[in-house]
Every structure is written in structure tokens, then in C-alpha cells.
Structure 1
């Protein structure tokens, strides 16, 4: 099967392209948001092919996987007038939780009979108003990085992009108090200057932007994974941390309460409870390692790659009979 999809979410796509198909990824001059092509820092197999818009006009495509609303018109143009959902089967994958007036947020692809809307969490399905569109949930899957946890550094790893711009969404305002429980290492894009922004000593909040193959080793050296995010879909970095064998301390918001089961860490809506858990792990490495081992087992059971690919394969067969 030839599947057309855009390179939007590197971690998610890395899991998806491990399947048995050909994955056509648009590439444009300059490799902008609509034509990034193959990932530079994620291990993608040879079955991921870069295709230009001109090549797509003649390319056989069995299904289009849409991830952003404007891709519907983009695909129609680049496929030479073939309309996703009408002339070519289509699936719309929603990565994000709704924003704005959340209980009433209507999905841009609500009330459609020409495609299937797929959510990555049950929380997202519940909170989006999907209308009459056919809806499925395919929970995340993660390429297993292996049990790398050492926890030799009594610091908390945080993975977040643009924490200063995104502010309360990513729980950036909670970091000063949490950094008093244990020093933080914040990994991600545009994190430079975070300590100054938070007005905390630089040794309590270090930052780095690492490629994926270095990030996992760096995370696994930290004593715990901290997920202070208020509002997002289920972060893949949290699931990757669990796969690495890290205990998790997370806000009990969105889908985190489903992922971080008892015995694998602490989830709470009370920042002081999170701070106490961070402090405990920082001072009790044996307890951190034990909970981290349980976290890895739980993540492999629910968010393993085999289950993820099986669920997608079943859905694709329904969409493309």
C-alpha cells in the first residue's frame, strides 16, 4: 500500500513508518513545513520515499493520511485533482487536544462522510466535538529504545519545546518551585535562557537541544522524568521515558492519568504533591529504579510498537477494502 503523509510529528511518524507499506513523504525546495521530506535525526526505514509535488501528480496513492486541515486542499492540488475522501481513501489523524472553549470545540473535520477521523488518545476523542464523522482511536506506539535507565544524576529530565512561548500550556510557571525539589534538565527546542526567564539559579535549570539518538541516553541518566504539562495530547516523550525505565512525575491532566499507572510514578493536580515525589526520587535511587522498571513494563504492554502497528493495519484495511 502507498500511503501519502506529511512529515509533521517526527516521533509519531517514526513509529508509524515501521509498518509494511510504502510511505510517500512530500519534499519541497527549502524543506518548509509542507515539504520537510525524510527526517534528519530519526531512524526511518528505506520504505519512506521523498516525493515532490510534481511527482505526486502521477504517483499511485492508496490512502492519504491528513494531519492538518489545509492538507486536504494541498493533497487535491498535488495529486492532480484526485480528492482525498472521494477519489482516494483518506484518514485524518488528530494529534492535539482541543483549544479555546474546550467542551464545545468543534473539530474542523466534523460531520464528514468521506473520511475517518483518528484520535491518538481517548481523551482527545471525548473532548473534541466530532459531529457525525466516523471516529477511531489508535493509541500511541513507541519504537522501544531499550531499558537504558541508570539514574546516576539526581536531576529531573523535562522534555518540552518552546517552554517560554507556550507558558502555562506546558506548565512552565510550575518549574521554579519544582526545581527546588530537584534540579532540572530541560531538553527541547528554544529552551535557551529558560533559567533567566524563570529567575532561578542556572545550576537548578539547565537546557539542551539534542538529536533523538542522544536524547534518550541523556534522559536515562537522570533520576526521573518530570511532565508538568497542563494541556496537550499525551506527550510521546513521556512514553519514551517510561520505555527507558524512568519513573514519572506528572500533572494528572489529559491522558497522563491513563498512561502513568500506580507503581510507575506519581500523578496529581497538586504541585506540592509532585514536588514531594520529585524530592523522594532524587533522594531514593533504589525506589526510582523500581518504579522505573514497572513504568517500562506498563509502557511496553499498552504503548508497544506491535500493538500500535496492528491497530493501524486493521484500520487501514477497513478504509481501503
Structure 2
């Protein structure tokens, strides 16, 4: 099967292109948001193929996967075929609605014959899909290996653009947690974060790393802290669990589903979470035991084989 999709979410797409199909990825000069092509920081198989808009015009496509509202127009223009009328279409929604919750109508509701796929049951509950059929295919995460050492008595945090995203990512909560343990914040757009929050550099450090380097660096920290208030289930949380890290997280959106008892501490009480951070930092053997539970839990629920099987079933259904 030949599947057209845009390279929007690197970690998710890395898992998706491990399947048996041919994945057509638009590429543009400069590799901007609408034409990133193949990943440059992940190792993708040869079935992930770059095509320019001109090449797509003459290419047979069995399925279009949309991830952003304007991609329907791009697909129509570049393929010369309309998703939902001339070629089967699925809309993959990664995120929670941002405004008018819980009354936000999803863009897929306006696309004919479009199946809407959510990555969490929470997201499906909160988006209004109108008459569009909906389903959930939970994340699948490639196993980075049990890399956890926890040798550094610090908490790892993964947030892209924490200054811009602010309360959504729990950026304002970081000083509270930094009082419990020093933090290392990994992600893009983190420059100046410590100064913005009024924290000394030793209490909050920032780094931007490529994926494999990121996994190795995170695994040396004693625990993973997930302070997100309102976002879909973060792949960084699942990846940290796969590394064998104990996790401390806000009990929001789908987090409680992903982190079962024994795999970490999940609460909406910042003081409870700060105390959990202190405990993991002070008790490395306890942290290691909880991290082993986290790794077992994520392997059982979010393995990439289950993820690819779920997607294969759906693609067969929508392309009959």
C-alpha cells in the first residue's frame, strides 16, 4: 500500500514507517513544515520515500493521512485528487483541543468519508467529530533499550518551547520542582529558561540533543518529571518509561492510563509530586525498582508491533 503523509511528528512517524507499506513523504526546497521529507535525526527504513509535489502528481496513492487542517488542500493540489472523494483519507489527531473545550468541532467533521483517528481515548472524548467515524490507535514506541543508570541525582524534563507554551507545559511549575531536586530540561527553544524563571543555573540546566543522544542523557538522570497540564499523551513520557526511568507526572489527560500504580507517582497535588521527586533522588534503589515497573508497563501497552497491527487493520478497512 502507498500511503501519503507529511512528516509532522518525528517520534510518531518513526514508529509508523516501520510498517510494511511504502510511505510517501512530501519534500520541498528548504525542508519547511510542509516538506520535511525523511527524518534527518532518526534512522528510517527505505520504505519511507521522499517525493516532490511534481512527482506526487503522477503517483498512485492508496491512502492519504492528514494531520493538519491545510493538508487536505495540499493533497488536492499536489495529487490532483480530493481526499475523501477521489482517494481514501484518514485524519490523525495528535493533540487535545486548545479552545472552546469541550465544544471544539474537529476539522475532520467537514471532510467527506473521513475517519478520524485519535492517539488517546481522552482526546476522542474531548473533540467533537460531528458525524465522522472515530477510533483510537494508541501510541507505539520503539524500544530504546533499558538504558537507565540514574547516576545523576537530578530530574529530567522534556519540553519543546517551554517559554512560548507556558502553562500548557507546566513551565510555571518548574521552580516548585526545582526546590525538590535540580532539573535538566531537554528540548528545543529552552535558551534563557532559567533566567526567565529566576532560577540559578545549577538548579535548572537546558540542553537540545538529537534523539539517540537524548535517550542516553535522560537515562543518567534519577527520574523523569512530566509537568504538562494540557496536552496529548507525551511520547517523551513513554520513552522515559521504556528507558527504565521512574516517572513523576501530573494526573491530567491520559497520564493515569499510561502510568499504572508502581510505575511512578501521578497526582494533581504539586506537593505530593515534589515529595516523590525528593524520594527518588534520595533512594536510588527504590528509583531503579520503580523504573523497572515503568518499563514493563510501557512495553506491555505501547509496543510498536501492536501499534503497527492496529494501523494495518484500519488501513485495510478504509481502503476497501
Q: Normalized against structure 2, the TM-score is what? A: 0.99
Instruction: Give deviations 1:132-171, integer Å, cap 9, x for gaps.
Output: 1010100000011011000000100000100011100000
Question: How far is 1:101 from its partner?
Answer: 1.6
CA distance in 1, matches of 2:159, 2:43: 21
Q: 2:242 aligns to what?
A: 243
Q: Distance in 2 between matches of 1:214 and 1:222?
A: 13
1:37 aligns with: 37
Alignment partner of 1:124: what SS?
helix
Separation of aligned partners in 1, 2:256 and 2:109? 27
Instruction: Give the structure 2 partner of residue 9 of structure 1.
Output: 9
Distance 1:213 1:242 in 2: 15
Secondary structure of the equivalent of 1:289?
A: helix
Name the structure 2 match of 1:307. Answer: 306
> d(CA) in 2 for partners of 1:45 and 1:274?
40
- Given that 1:65 and 1:90 are in contact with CA atoms closer than 8 Å, whether structure 2 keeps it comes out as yes
8 A contact 2:85–2:112 mirrored in 1 = no
Q: Secondary structure at the match of 2:3?
A: strand
Question: Conserved in 1, the CA contact under 8 Å of 2:108 and 2:115?
Answer: no
CA RMSD in angstroms, aligned pairs only: 0.7
Tell me how far 1:85 sits from its aligned partner.
1.0
Do structure 1's residue 223 and structure 2's residue 243 form an aligned pair? no
Once the two structures are TM-superposed, the CA of residue 113 in structure 1 deviates from its matched residue by 4.2
SS in 2 for 1:109: helix
Q: What's the counterpart of residue 116 of structure 2?
A: 117
Which position in structure 1 is the counterpart of 2:282? 283
Q: TM-score, normalised by structure 1?
A: 0.99
CA contact (8 A) 2:3 2:63 kept: yes
Distance apart, 1:175 and its partner CA:
0.2
Listed as ranges, the gaps of 5+ residues in structure 1 are none
1:108 offset after TM fit, Å? Answer: 1.5
What are the superposed Cα offsets for residues 185-209 of structure 1, whole Å, 9 maximum, x if unpaired?
0000010111101101110000000
**Deviation of residue 293 (structure 1)?**
0.2
Tell me if structure 2 keeps the 8 A contact 1:19–1:309: yes
CA offset at residue 30 of structure 1?
1.0
Residue 111 of structure 1 deviates from its aligned partner by: 5.6
Q: How many Å apart are 1:112 and its aligned residue? A: 4.7
How many residue pairs match? The answer is: 320
Question: What is aligned with 1:74?
Answer: 74
Match of 1:296 in 2: 295
SS of 2:108's equivalent?
A: coil
Give the match's secondary structure for 2:25. Answer: strand
Query: Could you say which residue in structure 1 is the equivalent of 2:212?
Result: 213
Contact 2:84/2:111 (8 A) holds in 1: no
On the 8 A contact 1:159/1:186 being kept in 2, the answer is yes
